[in-house]
């Protein structure tokens, strides 16, 4: 051992052993007792408060079976963790005895109690949500309740709930006879009142839409148009030069006065199923080629209703929409306020990350709800004006949230503070965690699953791993995307059958992210 240390020259510390910190010993008990003339000697284990390694796992073969001991560093491991380790090892040994010929990958190590906890107790998320009712219908119900309240504001312009509904109806009634059901249209415009009209009209007409970034290069736009077979591009005349070379029909919404002068203002009547496409978000993914993630009507309703109920969003709230529309995190910013009677405030697109502008907007519109990536939040908190607001809740996502930023936040704000996690393929957010000021240096967790989602941490053989063990995070439930548009190979690779569900067709999404309980 000394020679290995000398050759490898590892970084040394008095707090741990070099080279390795975990030892496993398998030994025979050949000398448990022995005689010396008239004396009979036996070994006696002496407890010690000193450990050589972080963890020493000893198995001794005796005439009566195996004796197992675990010596551990109490500053690194809790008693409950060690007890679980021993229980896992016992289950493993018992399963080997029961069936010595089984494959190693199928050997269980979870006790019945721990397996039930991981698969069932941690996933008790079943909550009733409106089935057969969709986002545009939830919005229409709210229109009937608060027709004259302001629905959406942008700079010095606003639309009431009734005005927004009528304009969305007019556009939807115009599109319905021209665009096939479940065909896809692109929405390509700067933040403005019309962008909300276009999104809501698409849902009302039973048409799927894809929000497109103005920062996409022309070749990426061409790829998406061809990949999704876009039937129409809804845009603005100020972008005419940018879209002129794109081979797709175009509707310049700000120049189509006839639509809003002649089309019917009544709510379109259409029959929609929960598995129909609501919208598509394109992600580059690991391949570098954009892939269209297909989000269903049911999935987005589940998410909006969860947010409304969990965070108590009401007519008294004002939500700032500042996330670029090509990111799925923008979706709840648009729809959540509109299904509860709150006020949707659109940030200027070129100033969505401008600290001075954001602080002024938060203050002037009495914004109560907003989301940031941690890197932007860390900058905005440093400003003195951050304390001068009526924020009730702040969400973070898209990046790891550090304990230091959490502590800084609570020094400057009394708002609720949440960490959100979720890939696009699981409809915006899959888990949430409410941060608390007393956590100090504890890590910021991603929390627990949202309503009607399940979280599993699995090994490469899709077996659940014990508490504390790192595995791949897999997600199941109603919020899973249908898959990747026209990519059955990628869909089959990432959306796999759910081995823990008895329901036919249930799937898991393999995130590729590593996690542990």
In this model, does residue 287 exceed pLDDT 60?
no
Place of tokens 């995130």: 511
Query: Per the structure block, which two tokens stand in for 129?
Result: 């949500």
The pLDDT of residue 285: 58
More confident residue, 438 or 421: 421
- Distance in angstroms (rounded) separating the CA atoms of residues 302 and 335: 12
Report whether 372 contacts 394 (CB < 8 A): yes
The pLDDT of residue 288: 64
3-state class (DSSP) for residue 327:
coil
More confident residue, 72 or 202: 202
Mean pLDDT of the chain: 92
- Supply φ then ψ for residue 171, to 5 degrees: -70, -40
Q: What percent of the chain has pLDDT over 70?
A: 96
- Distance in angstroms (rounded) separating the CA atoms of residues 58 and 276: 57
Looking at residues 373-391, what average pLDDT do you find?
90
**What are the residue ranges spanned by the domains of the chain?**
2-77, 130-309+329-342, 353-451
What is the full DSSP assignment across 199-219?
A: HHHHHHTT-EEEE--TTS-HH
CB neighbour class for 479 (10 Å; exposed up to 12, middle 13-18, buried from 19): buried
CATH code for 130-309+329-342? 3.40.50.12780
What does DSSP say about strands 291-296 and 343-346: parallel, antiparallel, or unpaired?
A: unpaired
In this model, does residue 286 exceed pLDDT 60?
no
The pLDDT of residue 31: 59
Alpha carbon 214 to chain centroid, angstroms: 25
Confidence of residue 19 (pLDDT cuts 50, 70, 90): confident
Alpha carbon 423 to chain centroid, angstroms: 5
Lowest mean pLDDT among 19-33, 171-185, 447-461: 19-33
Interval 117-141: pLDDT, tens: 999 999 999 999 888 999 999 999 9
Lowest mean pLDDT among 32-36, 400-404, 445-449, 513-517: 32-36
In this model, does residue 219 exceed pLDDT 80?
yes
Please compute Rg for the chain using Cα positions.
29
What is the full DSSP assignment across 4-64?
A: HHHHH-PPPBTTB-SS-SEEEEEEE-TTSEEEETTEEEE------S--SSSEEEEEEEETT
Identical fold between 130-309+329-342 and 353-451: yes
The pLDDT of residue 33: 61
More confident residue, 16 or 198: 198
What does DSSP say about strands 448-449 and 431-434: parallel, antiparallel, or unpaired?
A: antiparallel
Lowest mean pLDDT among 245-254, 383-392, 447-456: 383-392
What pTM, to 2 d.p., does this model score?
Answer: 0.90
Confidence of residue 330 (pLDDT cuts 50, 70, 90): very high
Q: What percent of the chain has pLDDT over 90?
A: 73
Interval 147-193: pLDDT, tens: 999 999 999 999 999 999 999 999 999 999 999 999 999 999 988 99
Confidence of residue 497 (pLDDT cuts 50, 70, 90): very high
CATH top-level class of 353-451: alpha beta
The pLDDT of residue 263: 93
């Amino acid at each position: 051992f000394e020679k290995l240390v000398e050759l490898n020259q590892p970084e040394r510390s008095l707090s741990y052993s070099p080279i390795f910190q975990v030892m496993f010993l398998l030994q025979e008990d050949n000398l448990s007792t022995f005689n010396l003339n008239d004396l009979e000697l036996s070994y006696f284990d002496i407890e010690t408060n000193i450990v050589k390694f972080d963890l020493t796992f000893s198995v001794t073969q005796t005439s009566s079976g195996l004796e197992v001991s675990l010596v551990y560093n109490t500053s690194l491991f809790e008693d409950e963790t060690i007890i679980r380790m021993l229980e896992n090892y016992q289950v493993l040994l018992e399963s080997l005895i029961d069936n010595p010929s089984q494959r190693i990958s199928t050997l269980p190590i979870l006790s019945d109690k721990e397996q039930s906890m991981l698969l069932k107790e941690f996933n008790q998320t079943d909550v009733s949500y409106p089935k057969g009712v969709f986002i545009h219908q939830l919005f229409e119900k709210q229109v009937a309740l608060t027709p004259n309240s302001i629905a959406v504001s942008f700079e010095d312009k606003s639309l009431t709930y009734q005005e927004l509904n009528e304009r969305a109806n007019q556009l939807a009634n115009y599109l319905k006879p021209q665009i096939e059901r479940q065909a896809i249209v692109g929405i390509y415009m700067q933040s403005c009142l019309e962008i909300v009209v276009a999104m809501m009209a698409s849902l009302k007409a039973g048409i799927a839409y894809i929000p497109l970034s103005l920062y996409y290069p022309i070749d990426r736009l061409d790829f998406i148009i061809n990949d999704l077979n876009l039937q129409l591009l809804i845009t603005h005349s100020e972008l005419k030069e940018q879209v002129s070379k794109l081979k797709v029909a175009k509707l310049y919404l700000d120049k189509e006065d006839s639509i809003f002068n002649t089309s019917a203002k009544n709510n379109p009547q259409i029959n929609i199923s929960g598995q129909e496409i609501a919208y598509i978000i394109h992600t580059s993914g690991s391949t570098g080629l954009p892939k269209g993630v297909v989000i269903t009507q049911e999935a987005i309703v589940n998410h909006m209703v969860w947010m409304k109920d969990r965070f108590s969003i009401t007519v008294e709230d004002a939500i700032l929409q500042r996330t670029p529309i090509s990111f799925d995190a923008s979706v709840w910013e648009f729809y959540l306020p509109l299904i509860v009677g709150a006020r949707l405030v659109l940030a200027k697109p070129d100033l969505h990350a401008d600290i001075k502008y954001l602080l002024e907007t938060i203050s002037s519109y009495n914004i109560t709800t907003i989301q940031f990536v941690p890197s932007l939040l860390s900058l905005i908190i440093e400003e003195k004006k951050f304390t001068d607001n009526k924020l009730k809740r702040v969400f973070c996502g898209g990046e790891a949230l550090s304990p230091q930023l959490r502590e800084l936040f609570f020094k400057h704000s009394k708002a609720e503070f949440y960490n959100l996690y979720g890939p696009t393929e699981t409809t915006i957010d899959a888990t949430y965690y409410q941060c608390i000021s007393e956590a100090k240096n504890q890590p910021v967790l991603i929390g627990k699953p949202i309503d009607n989602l399940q979280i599993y941490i699995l090994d490469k053989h899709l077996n659940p791993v014990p508490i504390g063990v790192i595995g791949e995070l897999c997600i199941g439930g109603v919020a899973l995307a249908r898959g990747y548009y026209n990519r059955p190979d990628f869909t089959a690779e990432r959306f796999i059958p759910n081995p823990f569900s008895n329901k036919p067709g249930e799937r898991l999404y393999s995130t590729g992210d590593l996690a542990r309980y």
